[in-house]
């Protein structure tokens, strides 16, 4: 034992040994944070291995700066300062995470007021007993150095050693990044949750990546000015489509309930597996005379997937060409989104119901900037054990458990439900489904029909509650598929189920598979039908606004009302391709939209039409990117609109705040709970979910 202690003391008394000790200590405290303070959703040996090694690469590179300093005392002091600074970064993230279940961005670090105002109460209340271990080693090392129990090694290091350690750190980081990309492709470019960056690459790498993106965004924004709005305003003015007088105000004063059908594609409507309808309830809704359903409605998302779909619907602007607008720009961008517009024009309250964590896609920040008054995320529900699958609380439970919050909201309200169960790889617990799987070579394709059937049942149960509670007749219900469920790489396995040969499958077919459902169900209206006009997610907001009797001409929105005779039927995809009633442009080729035949030789008239469509799409995407990247809406406030103040929104204790508002309003309260003589309607909800029994 004495020999071992002597060997350790000898090693620590060398500069390289002391460096190794500091690296190990910081590595251990990072693992402490991963284990006790952060909830990173790690599963499986592979992810745990990545988690264990991810602090080492950047730590070696960062702490290695001290080894380039030749003067021994300065080298040791620099190493301790770097160690303390990195510990501070780690610990401040721990404190921030305990309050917000999220990690600090560069903007929150540089703007401390945002952090101090956001963290409720005293930071002392957020501390825990084990926090002493984040700082104890620094104090002990400093004392040992000052007491000369650890001696400063005055021998010079080999000249190439610092470079060797830096190179080792770079190689280790490349190895770490490769492992992360294997498990989570497009890890850095398609950032949907800060948890993922930390889980795969560590706190330091996350902070560096965020700093890079912030600097890039700040540079673009710093050069932006009011004059940059001119081209955007001109395009939108020319592109505006006036409302159909017969449809304008058709749903005025009604609640708006938006149901986000995760990964739900249009081909599921009226589809069957083994003679059984996959989505019998949605099929009936699709053909209901109270529903305006759209046969040629396309998703328009990019790498931001679900978050892009939300942005398109809420703001009528496009996502970014790379990454997620929510994640990259959403924390600080100025929005003129649906919840704020409806609140300021017609007094709507607003809420989102979602069974995943609030930080996913940066929603906890973006929703505040959009003006959402309430956000009921996973923390508001019992999502333990078999109540969750994949990306959060199962859909049947989400709808059922949301009722106690929904009934407290003041009417009219704008409420969005984000489902998650129908998500790749579409796996289901056996007790949740008895629907048959498809029979293809791809398991995720086979599973897709089961999870879609479960989603259909979830929506049916929710509709039954709306009718039983009386909300149904006071609302319009908007349902839409956010993006594709089966990716292009799996379409060949799906093709036979659609009556198509895999050998004949082309880019045209991939483009047609971007169809997703869009239905506007208005109880009491008898003029609904299956509409044939082409439209995309960017068109939803102006359509809903006009149905509610809200004039849209003053807002900067890239979509057009689908019911307008002036509606633009050229639907842009985020990659620059497009579809229209006449043509499809996909993978560099032009196809006849009706026949799917590739048009290798275009007539002069055809070429003019194609070029005009392409120019229209390219211009819209470019100007939308200009608007969002430059945060140009900060320079433009429509008449009668007040800029959203995100600091006014706090998503903690949502139920209490709703109940307190209801009690304050007294007889003026318009909540369903009040209208039901202060009795809950939760017992009206019927579900066959086994987890609810």
Distance CA 310, CA 304 (A): 10
**Of the candidates 67, 47, 69, 71, which has an alpha carbon nearest to the alpha carbon of residue 59?**
67
Helix (H) or strand (E) holding 291: strand 291-294
671 located within any domain: no
The parent domain of residue 161 ranges over 1-221
Contact 619, 235 (CB under 8 A): yes
Same-domain pairing of 454 and 565? yes
298 located within any domain: yes
Contact 674, 658 (CB under 8 A): no
Contact 377, 652 (CB under 8 A): no
pLDDT at 110: 58
Distance CA 592, CA 612 (A): 16
Q: List helix spans (H) across 223-304.
A: 229-239, 280-286
Burial class (CB in 10 A: 0-12, 13-18, 19+), 519: buried
258 located within any domain: yes
Task: Residue 550: give its domain's CATH number.
Answer: 3.40.720.10
Q: Which among 35-39, 46-50, 407-411 has the top mean pLDDT? A: 407-411
**Of the candidates 614, 557, 550, 553, which has an alpha carbon nearest to the alpha carbon of residue 582?**
614
**Of the candidates 154, 159, 105, which has an alpha carbon nearest to the alpha carbon of residue 327?**
105
pLDDT at 191: 58
Contact 327, 363 (CB under 8 A): no
At a CB cut-off of 8 Å and minimum separation 6, what does 552 contact?
240, 243, 541, 542, 545, 546, 561
- The torsion angle over the Cα atoms of residues 305, 307, 309 and 315, rounded to 10 degrees, is -150
Residue 298 main-chain phi, psi, to 5 deg = -120, 140
Q: What average pLDDT does this structure show over 269-280?
A: 97
Q: Does pLDDT of 88 surpass 90?
A: yes
Q: What is the mean pLDDT of the chain?
A: 91
Contact 476, 521 (CB under 8 A): yes
Residues of the chain above pLDDT 70, percent: 95
Q: Does pLDDT of 421 surpass 80?
A: yes
3-class SS of residue 126: helix
Same-domain pairing of 159 and 260? no
- The alpha-carbon radius of gyration of the chain (Å, integer) is 28
Span 283-314, pLDDT tens digits: 999 999 999 999 999 999 987 899 999 999 99
At a CB cut-off of 8 Å and minimum separation 6, what does 219 contact?
none
Same-domain pairing of 513 and 444? yes
Q: Does pLDDT of 5 surpass 50?
A: no
Span 337-359, pLDDT tens digits: 999 999 999 999 999 999 999 98
Q: Does pLDDT of 113 surpass 50?
A: no
Residue 495 main-chain phi, psi, to 5 deg = -45, -50
Is the bond into 351 cis (omega within 30 degrees of 0)? no
pLDDT at 90: 94
Same-domain pairing of 101 and 36? yes
Contact 370, 339 (CB under 8 A): yes
Same-domain pairing of 204 and 260? no
Q: Does pLDDT of 156 surpass 50?
A: yes
207 located within any domain: yes
Domain tally, the chain: 2
Contact 214, 107 (CB under 8 A): yes
Same-domain pairing of 212 and 250? no
Q: What average pLDDT does this structure show over 36-50?
A: 89
Distance CA 659, CA 671 (A): 10
3-class SS of residue 354: strand
Residue 584 annotated in active site? no
Residues for the chain: how many in total?
Answer: 693
Distance CA 228, CA 633 (A): 10
217 — pLDDT class (breaks 50, 70, 90): confident
Packed helices 305-315 and 363-370: angle between N→C axes, nearest 10 degrees: 10
Packed helices 654-665 and 395-406: angle between N→C axes, nearest 10 degrees: 30
Q: What average pLDDT does this structure show over 132-147?
A: 92
Distances (CA, A) of 580 to 29, 177, 238, 452, 535: 56, 41, 19, 28, 9
Q: Which residue has the tokens 């439970």?
A: 397
Same-domain pairing of 176 and 296? no
Q: Which residue has the tokens 């499958």?
A: 505
Span 89-106, pLDDT tens digits: 999 999 877 765 678 877
Same-domain pairing of 265 and 212? no
Q: What is the DSSP letter of 647?
A: G
Q: Does pLDDT of 120 surpass 50?
A: no
**Of the candidates 329, 327, 335, 308, which has an alpha carbon nearest to the alpha carbon of residue 319?**
308
211 — pLDDT class (breaks 50, 70, 90): confident
In this structure, what token pair is assigned to residue 445? 């394709």
Residue 276 main-chain phi, psi, to 5 deg = -105, 135
Same-domain pairing of 215 and 248? no
Contact 363, 355 (CB under 8 A): no
Span 604-644, pLDDT tens digits: 999 999 999 999 999 999 999 999 999 999 999 999 999 99
Distance CA 239, CA 233 (A): 10
Q: Which of 87, 101, 191, 306 is catalytic?
A: 306
Same-domain pairing of 517 and 580? yes
Q: Does pLDDT of 112 surpass 70?
A: no
213 — pLDDT class (breaks 50, 70, 90): confident
pTM of the full predicted structure?
A: 0.78
pLDDT at 546: 98
Q: Which residue has the tokens 């069957």?
A: 272
pLDDT at 171: 95
Q: Which residues, in sequence order, are bridge partners of residue 374?
A: 351
279 located within any domain: yes
Same-domain pairing of 191 and 269? no
In this structure, what token pair is assigned to residue 304? 């931001």
Distance CA 329, CA 64 (A): 33
685 located within any domain: no
Distance CA 108, CA 331 (A): 10
Q: Choose between 221 and 267: higher pLDDT.
A: 267
Contact 16, 155 (CB under 8 A): no
Residues of the chain above pLDDT 90, percent: 77
- Per-residue buried b or exposed e for 588-603, using 16+ beta carbons within 10 Å of the residue's own CB: eebbebeeeeebeeee
Span 400-420, pLDDT tens digits: 999 999 999 999 999 999 999
Same-domain pairing of 441 and 406? yes
63 located within any domain: yes
pLDDT at 9: 63
Q: Does pLDDT of 180 surpass 60?
A: yes
Q: What is the DSSP letter of 332?
A: T
3-class SS of residue 89: helix
Q: Does pLDDT of 107 surpass 80?
A: no
670 located within any domain: no
**Of the candidates 243, 233, 247, which has an alpha carbon nearest to the alpha carbon of residue 566?**
243
């Amino acid at each position: 034992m004495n020999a071992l202690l002597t060997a350790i003391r000898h090693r620590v008394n060398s500069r390289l040994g002391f460096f190794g000790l500091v690296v190990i200590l910081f590595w251990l405290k990072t693992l402490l944070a991963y284990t006790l303070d952060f909830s990173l959703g790690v599963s499986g040996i592979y992810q745990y291995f990545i988690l264990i090694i991810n602090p080492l690469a950047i730590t070696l590179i960062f702490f290695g700066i001290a080894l380039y300093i030749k003067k021994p005392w300065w080298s040791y002091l620099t190493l301790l300062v770097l160690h303390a600074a990195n510990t501070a970064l780690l610990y401040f993230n721990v404190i921030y995470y305990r309050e917000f279940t999220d990690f600090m961005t560069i903007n929150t670090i540089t703007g401390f007021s945002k952090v101090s105002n956001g963290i409720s109460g005293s930071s002392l209340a957020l501390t825990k007993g084990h926090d002493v271990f984040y700082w104890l080693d620094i104090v002990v090392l400093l004392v040992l150095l000052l007491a000369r129990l650890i001696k400063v090694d005055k021998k010079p290091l080999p000249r190439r050693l610092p470079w060797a350690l830096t190179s080792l750190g770079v190689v280790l980081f490349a190895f770490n990044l490769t492992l992360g990309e294997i498990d989570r492709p497009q890890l850095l470019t398609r950032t949907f949750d800060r948890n993922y960056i930390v889980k795969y690459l560590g706190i330091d790498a996350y902070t560096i990546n965020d700093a890079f993106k912030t600097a890039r965004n700040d540079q673009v924004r710093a050069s932006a000015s009011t004059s940059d709005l001119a081209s955007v305003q001109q395009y939108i003015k020319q592109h505006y489509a006036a409302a159909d007088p017969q449809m304008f105000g058709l749903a005025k004063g009604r609640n708006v309930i938006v149901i986000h059908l995760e990964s739900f594609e249009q081909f599921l409507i009226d589809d069957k597996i083994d003679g059984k309808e996959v989505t019998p309830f949605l099929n009936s809704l699709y053909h209901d005379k109270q529903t305006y359903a759209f046969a040629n409605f396309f998703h328009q998302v990019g790498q931001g997937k679900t978050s892009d779909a939300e942005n398109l619907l809420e703001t009528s602007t496009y996502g970014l060409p790379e990454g997620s607008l929510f994640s990259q720009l959403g924390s600080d961008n100025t929005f003129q989104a649906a919840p704020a517009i409806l609140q300021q024009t017609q007094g709507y309250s607003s809420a989102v119901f979602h069974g995943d964590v609030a930080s996913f896609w940066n929603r906890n920040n973006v929703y505040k900037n959009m003006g959402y008054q309430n956000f009921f995320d996973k923390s508001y529900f019992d999502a333990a054990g078999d109540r969750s699958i994949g990306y959060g609380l199962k859909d049947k439970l989400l709808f059922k458990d949301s009722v106690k919050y929904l009934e407290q909201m003041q009417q009219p309200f704008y409420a969005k439900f984000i489902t998650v169960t129908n998500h790749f790889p579409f796996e289901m617990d056996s007790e949740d489904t008895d629907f048959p799987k498809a029979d293809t070579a791809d398991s995720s394709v086979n599973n897709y029909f089961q999870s879609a059937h479960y989603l259909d049942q979830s929506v049916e149960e929710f509709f039954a509650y709306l009718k039983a509670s009386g909300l149904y007749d006071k609302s319009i219900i908007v349902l839409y598929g956010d993006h594709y469920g089966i990716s292009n790489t799996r379409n060949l396995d799906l093709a036979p189920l659609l009556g198509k040969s895999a050998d004949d499958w082309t880019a045209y077919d991939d483009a047609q598979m971007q169809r997703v459902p869009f239905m506007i169900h208005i109880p009491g209206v008898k003029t609904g039908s299956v509409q044939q006009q082409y439209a995309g997610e960017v068109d939803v907001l102006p359509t809903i606004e006009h149905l509610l009797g809200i004039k849209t001409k003053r807002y900067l929105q890239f979509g057009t009302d689908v019911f307008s005779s002036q509606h633009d039927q050229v639907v842009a995809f985020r990659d620059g391709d497009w579809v229209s009633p006449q043509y499809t442009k996909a993978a560099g080729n032009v196809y006849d939209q009706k026949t799917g035949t590739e048009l290798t030789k275009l007539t002069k008239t055809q070429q003019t039409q194609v070029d005009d469509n392409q120019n229209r799409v390219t211009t819209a995407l470019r100007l939308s990117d200009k608007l969002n990247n430059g945060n140009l809406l900060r320079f433009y406030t429509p008449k009668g609109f007040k800029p959203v103040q995100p600091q006014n929104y706090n998503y903690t204790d949502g139920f209490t705040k709703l109940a307190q508002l209801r009690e304050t309003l007294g007889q003026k309260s318009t909540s369903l709970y009040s209208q039901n003589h202060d009795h809950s309607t939760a017992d009206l909800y019927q579900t066959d979910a086994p987890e609810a029994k």
